[in-house]
Structure 1
């Protein structure tokens, strides 16, 4: 019996030992449809020939789940074979929207893709509710508080699904009331004028300003805070803002509770800290935008700190820190400010890198820079460099970055990133002019020829009065110092039958050469020579003065004469405008003189001076004043050529009067009054530009209100001969050229004046 028991024990012991040493002979994966088995094998912590007893099945299942590809995972054992059973998550086949009008489906899909809901991604049922909320929030931001979004998942073959979103957009919820409680110093209307949000009004259909948005309200609250802070109320508070909606979710009401506090004025101002030796506190005090006794203005305080920091930046201290610390005197209702200055280290520019210029040569960009390598950083020079690059009109965008040099605390690089624009233009079209009718144009120009910055242009312009054909070339950097040189050749035919200046025709051909010498950053001296060959043909009704001129250069009684000239001209111009197209500040002044040499028929000189000043009235409103005077005279025994007379009238000088119609009148041989012009001219204008109502941007469209004045005189200037007008105008930078429209009322015209209330013109002058 004992032998039998011993034998049984030995057999069982071997069985247990064999069981403990069992190893994996195979691993099978079941349930895969589109996923490669390698994904599972790469994520399980066991392989064939591993001991079965060493397998942590729970951990293995967890690792497979973490791949995110499966919704069910199970691991079983059949002898020495491990069987892994899985159920794949379905793949999103398509995302489909029904009932969307306010949003494009592609825009909604882009937002959902950030939530991993997109064609080709794994479907997760838990994402559906989040997607419904996200789409609903998009409609809430549009003021549609009754919007309803419902998702439906449609199973497809091969373990795919379509997700359908059914949207009921509902009606817009509109702001019906905005109430402010606690305002004592300003009326509610004054405060609400600062808001972007409005109650429903006659223009809400266009402005969409009665649609509630939390982000817009936050912005309006900050505008309200700034409004008070800029008017002395430095302790202003917004105690509460409550937004409520009606039961039908169609009406929104906003209630604000504010506390104005007392009004404060500016007390003593001090500057303290470490400043460079070559700058005094007195100089920096001039940069402060506030003075003692002013009403407290938070914007002016911030402007002061910025101005002082910028001033230090002009001397190399690019990272100067300026902070303002107020000291409040509640009894006197004043606030003293101490401006603490930490100039930091003087910064040098190690290297200037030009990026993005594929066509424009590096030297064309670098020659416009005023900030130089290996010199200290100067913010004003960097700003001026950007302005000069903008003026070239070669680039759509210009971004300047100043990254610090790694491992060095007092050096930066200047990275100039440009996005080039197409500087070549070909234009075939027609323009309209109230004085010339249809004006055909053909022009081909390249402002950046072969990336050199040189300009070459040819143009043809045909109108009832002027027909012009021209070819020109300009090298703006003929020398390294910025001296420019240009050539031009032209043909110009003029027929004055529709101008009211007496009938005559001129046919001119000419060649000119010009030079420009920069005197400073803003001043340029120009000079040149022009040879002009003009054939003059008088009409039979021409006044006696016209005939006398032809007789002086040809023969008595002649109606045809050649009037050639060789003229030298020079000019000076200073220009500080911030923008070449729609300036908002700065000035431009020019003085030009032209004299013909006594080698041909015409012997005269002509001087003109023009000045205009732009200054901002507010963020979107700019005013301009402009004046032009001209004087011309013959010399020697020659008669001054009448077709060189000054005239005034038209959009460029005096709106409300027909082009070239203002000036001395004479009778032609038919007894009709014509405008003879004169050798003295004055034109003045005051104009205020403002954005087109209901348009928030002024980049290409703006309106103006103006008062013009002008006169042409044969002898002395007299006030009675001046003409004035007032009106409104609009300018649109259309794809076909600038369109200018004006509606003007002459203020003191007489019976002989030729008025024109509505005037317009399209196209570029060459």
Structure 2
């Protein structure tokens, strides 16, 4: 800061000074200051600023009385300087007439920033840097602004691992705008610094690999580090040091500390970290004394706590067992699930004896709370009653924390809301002993539109052609509002009903139409669902119409109605589903079904599905399990016709009324392997069997299992055949032509999310799986399976559903009965001879088949 020397009043001059001074050529004496009236005040050198505003900031206005010399001039200068708009400020007296003094405020404005640009970095990096710095057109340029801008840019790139980042700002006068400058910000990132070595010294109780695993973002270079490169940032390093010490605390070393750590460069691309640890002494849990508990005995609380005297001291475990852990096994949950919302637990460390830490746990149970009003907020489409019928916390019931957790799961299973946006706001009223609960949801798109084209449908007798598909799935539909004009925005919705329409065709060769509707709460009072579906499939092998004498092909018309209900026993995770269906087959010289290539067949069957599902979310489950038992059967018509010899009948006569029974059992678990529940292990198994009532009539030619590939086969997925995926092999290559009656499959997947955004959920996976189909019980061997391994990715888009891409390797030769559609292709011929072949598979839908 520089004040002009000539004609200015300095604050450095003390009141004890007695010598005369001048102010604009006028003589003033500190020993005898005089009072003047301020006349008109002139502002010089600030043409682009409001002069009246400058006078107000300075505190000098016409008519005001001022004493000279005094601190008033100095204060005026300080007021103007604090605005940061001027580089030089001076105030002097122009003249004095009859006690009126005329002052001049002379200013040198600082330049303004008109625009700025980046050099040396990409456009994407420039956009990120703009968010970090505080530059904008019109901002006053100061030396501090330049310093802070450079510092923030260097800090940004240091956090990205560019420790040698250099920033230079070139200032150029803007010839188009007065008192303005242009910044050219040149950034030289330099090489990215990696961590060549992390050396941890002094640890004997915790293995080094565990310590290095605890450091989530500070990792040393390695061959296997493909997806996340090694880099060093100060913020991550400080966080990881805290995580490092937590590992020692978990094994009783609560006094462990880092006594010294050093980070130094080895060369321009590598650095080394040295950490010196002092573990200290090992501590153990001692006696635990419970105070204030009347609801539960102390011995029972000891059991729930699960910590015994002599166990290694682990503060994190102790805290989780008291206040809440991922498994729900804690003292707080025990009380809160019984209505003790106002419950408090206060652990007190009483003393330490021989490295055993003794605790006194003081409990304040409080009154039992009941639920007050239950409200919903955030549902812009889904009606309140659809949400409230899934809410487990009812007004007047005793408060239960588990009911809130269960409500979150049930709302997630609807598929209408963003799991990450779910909130619960309890509003307790201790005076009344009640708690009002507000559930906050965030709607997401659940409807799906399918408009696609692809090449497929090729088979032994069907040429491959372009297939077009149009489909609409409305998963939150409302028939009640169908005839209300105001409800069409764009479609009537909000009642949780599901309506699906789909059409697929490649011209005369193949046409398929499907319609289905589900009401999840029939009558609106109980969770009993009603489903109805109808489909029509027509396939011409030669491309001729059905009326043409050269026509060969088949058509299938089906319909069905189902009733589902939630069960209360053995627990309310169980559901049951009953379905009555009818399928009519019209086959004309078609070779897809070796046992029946011409005639009519009728399939009237009853299906029963018993399922227990406790998965946490429908798209990316992070916990829970899913078990399903499916039974489907027709009537045993042959039992009612003892006088009929089926062996002497033609195929058309024998299969006019299809008869069979089938069972299928599947199970899967979702096991979190990390504390944040992101890395998920999913084991899955499945078995299926199709039986016959009468050996002379034989198995149904239609309902079979076919295995291999992605589980997608376009027009070949006909005749009730269940096509099961086995990645690493060609479609339907593992089974016999027409399918097999017995199947077994085992899968192990390791999943990790890339993004859990509800608008686009991505996760990567690696898998091991094995499976096979068998023509008879004599051939069945659960260990004779075709193995495969590979990697894949899944993408869930609300408008299109789940899409997947897998790259798998098949390892085993095919069996002699494997004469399916893909078994004669080049890939599986090589499998039969070599036992190994890589295969790329594309999938659509939540599951690869149903096994």
TM-score, normalised by the number of residues in structure 1: 0.80
Equivalent residue in structure 2 for 1:316, among 317, 324, 339? 339
Q: CA RMSD in A?
A: 4.1
Contact 2:113–2:140 (Cα < 8 Å) also in 1: yes
- For the residues of structure 2 that align with 1:470 and 1:567, how far apart are their CA atoms? 19
Equivalent residue in structure 2 for 1:677, among 733, 740, 750? 740
Q: CA deviation at 1:284?
A: 4.1
Q: CA deviation at 1:716?
A: 6.5
In structure 2, relative to structure 1, the CA distance for the partners of 1:425 and 1:321 (3 Å cut) is same
Equivalent residue in structure 2 for 1:129, among 147, 150, 154? 147
Equivalent residues in 2 for 1:524-673, closer than 5 Å: 524-539=575-590, 546=595, 560-596=598-634, 601-618=657-674, 620-634=679-693, 640-650=699-709, 652=724, 659-660=731-732
Equivalent residue in structure 2 for 1:109, among 104, 120, 130? 130
SS in 2 for 1:532: strand
SS in 1 for 2:702: helix
Structure 2 equivalent of residue 489 of structure 1: 534
Structure 2 equivalent of residue 201 of structure 1: 222
Equivalent residue in structure 2 for 1:395, among 417, 420, 445? 417
Contact 1:175–1:251 (Cα < 8 Å) also in 2: yes
Structure 1 equivalent of residue 402 of structure 2: 380
Contact 2:593–2:702 (Cα < 8 Å) also in 1: no
1:345-367 CA distance string (max 9 Å, x none): 65555444433322222222222
Equivalent residue in structure 2 for 1:34, among 36, 45, 48? 48
Q: CA deviation at 1:624?
A: 0.9
In structure 2, relative to structure 1, the CA distance for the partners of 1:34 and 1:378 (3 Å cut) is farther
Equivalent residues in 2 for 1:352-363, closer than 5 Å: 352-363=374-385
- For the residues of structure 2 that align with 1:150 and 1:351, how far apart are their CA atoms? 61
In structure 2, relative to structure 1, the CA distance for the partners of 1:439 and 1:740 (3 Å cut) is farther
- For the residues of structure 1 that align with 2:574 and 2:450, how far apart are their CA atoms? 32
In structure 2, relative to structure 1, the CA distance for the partners of 1:67 and 1:729 (3 Å cut) is closer
Structure 1 equivalent of residue 547 of structure 2: none
SS in 2 for 1:402: strand
- For the residues of structure 2 that align with 1:539 and 1:433, how far apart are their CA atoms? 19
1:162-213 CA distance string (max 9 Å, x none): 333333333333333322211234554553344332333346675221x221
In structure 2, relative to structure 1, the CA distance for the partners of 1:28 and 1:617 (3 Å cut) is closer
Structure 2 equivalent of residue 551 of structure 1: none
Structure 1 equivalent of residue 446 of structure 2: 423
Equivalent residue in structure 1 for 2:573, among 522, 527, 537? 522
Higher mean displacement: 292-301 or 378-387: 292-301
In structure 2, relative to structure 1, the CA distance for the partners of 1:734 and 1:158 (3 Å cut) is same
Equivalent residue in structure 2 for 1:179, among 166, 179, 199? 199
1:704-738 CA distance string (max 9 Å, x none): 33242444354568538953424334242265642
1:80-128 CA distance string (max 9 Å, x none): 3643424233322223333335973333333221xxx432223333332
Equivalent residue in structure 2 for 1:192, among 212, 231, 252? 212
1:240-279 CA distance string (max 9 Å, x none): 2112235x655422111112345555555x36243463x5
Contact 2:121–2:187 (Cα < 8 Å) also in 1: yes
Structure 2 equivalent of residue 764 of structure 1: 845
Structure 2 equivalent of residue 739 of structure 1: 804
SS in 2 for 1:451: coil
Structure 2 equivalent of residue 370 of structure 1: 392
SS in 2 for 1:40: helix
In structure 2, relative to structure 1, the CA distance for the partners of 1:53 and 1:303 (3 Å cut) is closer
Structure 2 equivalent of residue 455 of structure 1: 498
Structure 2 equivalent of residue 300 of structure 1: 317
In structure 2, relative to structure 1, the CA distance for the partners of 1:65 and 1:726 (3 Å cut) is closer
Structure 2 equivalent of residue 255 of structure 1: 274
In structure 2, relative to structure 1, the CA distance for the partners of 1:655 and 1:176 (3 Å cut) is closer
1:9-65 CA distance string (max 9 Å, x none): xxxxxxxxxx99975554444433222234235445565444455994444444444
SS in 2 for 1:643: coil
Q: What stretches of structure 1 of length at least 5 have no aligned partner?
A: 1-18, 498-503, 548-558, 666-673
Contact 2:610–2:628 (Cα < 8 Å) also in 1: yes
Equivalent residues in 2 for 1:56-67, closer than 5 Å: 56-67=72-83
SS in 2 for 1:208: coil
How many residues are aligned here? 708
- For the residues of structure 1 that align with 2:816 and 2:666, how far apart are their CA atoms? 30
Contact 1:357–1:420 (Cα < 8 Å) also in 2: yes
Q: CA deviation at 1:603?
A: 4.0
Q: What stretches of structure 2 of length at least 5 have no aligned partner?
A: 1-32, 325-329, 478-492, 543-551, 638-655, 711-723, 829-836
Structure 2 equivalent of residue 14 of structure 1: none
Equivalent residue in structure 2 for 1:446, among 466, 474, 477? 474
Equivalent residue in structure 2 for 1:474, among 492, 514, 518? 518
Structure 1 equivalent of residue 181 of structure 2: 161
Structure 2 equivalent of residue 91 of structure 1: 112
Higher mean displacement: 605-614 or 320-329: 320-329
Contact 2:114–2:180 (Cα < 8 Å) also in 1: yes
In structure 2, relative to structure 1, the CA distance for the partners of 1:102 and 1:137 (3 Å cut) is farther
Higher mean displacement: 279-288 or 359-368: 279-288
Equivalent residue in structure 1 for 2:766, among 704, 721, 741? 704
- For the residues of structure 2 that align with 1:334 and 1:439, how far apart are their CA atoms? 73
In structure 2, relative to structure 1, the CA distance for the partners of 1:181 and 1:434 (3 Å cut) is farther
1:130-170 CA distance string (max 9 Å, x none): 33222222233333333322334434452223333333333
In structure 2, relative to structure 1, the CA distance for the partners of 1:322 and 1:109 (3 Å cut) is same
1:319-338 CA distance string (max 9 Å, x none): 6444555678675x655555
Contact 1:584–1:622 (Cα < 8 Å) also in 2: no
- For the residues of structure 1 that align with 2:728 and 2:541, how far apart are their CA atoms? 20
1:206-228 CA distance string (max 9 Å, x none): 5221x221122223222322323
Contact 1:386–1:398 (Cα < 8 Å) also in 2: no
Q: CA deviation at 1:631?
A: 4.1
- For the residues of structure 2 that align with 1:540 and 1:168, how far apart are their CA atoms? 69
Contact 1:309–1:322 (Cα < 8 Å) also in 2: yes
Contact 2:755–2:763 (Cα < 8 Å) also in 1: no
Q: CA deviation at 1:238?
A: 1.9
Equivalent residue in structure 2 for 1:689, among 745, 750, 754? 750
